[in-house]
Amino acid sequence: MEKSIPVHVSAIMDGNGRWAQRQGKERVNGHVEGVRRVRECVEQCIARGVRYFSVYAFSEENWNRPAAEVGFLMQLMHKSIFDEMESLLANGVRFRVLGNMERIAPELREAIAQLESMTASNDRLDLIVFLSYSGRWDILQAARRIALERPQDAASLTMEDFSSYLVTAGIPDPDLIIRTSGEQRISNYLLWQGAYSEFYFTDTLWPDFGREELDRALDSYASRDRRYGKVK
């Protein structure tokens, strides 16, 4: 019997700093290694038939980290865009970034827009990076837009209507959300979209999360019975 493959897999990439510290390295080295794991997971998602792969790269709360670390992470994002450009194009991957882009530096926004445009017609896999994102911010910005754009019919608003105002409009809700490093919480991530997601928690730190770990998560998903509140 063929295994059930999730359409959309999302990862809360946790443990980069701890991984580096255990290696006796600076925290930033963990983030560099973490980028390599994203590439590996993208390749494995393609191989397994996953259509959307998203990652929680930087939360709204992460802006409270030391300025030097935040600056490095933004530089790493900028560098990764150019380093991964050829691979994304060759593998038919569409690149997208979602979040509160008003907080992102103009030069990084420009680089993001450039790669999004270059990969817009790719349809093998969508790689979605959540940057400067939080679930509460997403819901709030949707509510504000609705209040401005359709105040007269707010009472008749459906859940589908509301979803169309979230930054993920047009993207399927995640079937599977993976969190690494042993933490078992959602951390303000995809609060609306993850209402019926399956969760997979692992003690593995993100820089050690590769193809085999992803396969284990996908196999765990395939073994579950998703009922959405119904009786089967």
Active site members: 14, 62
CB atoms within 10 A of CB 55: 22
Distance CA 3, CA 25 (A): 40
User: CA dihedral in degrees (150, 158, 50, 176; nearest 10)?
Assistant: 110
Distance CA 150, CA 142 (A): 12
Give the gyration radius of the chain's Cα atoms. 18
Cβ atoms of 96 and 127 within 8 Å: the answer is: yes
Closest by Cα among 102, 31, 33 to 70: 31
Cβ atoms of 111 and 82 within 8 Å: the answer is: yes
Q: Is 76 helix (H, G, I), strand (E, B) or coil?
A: helix
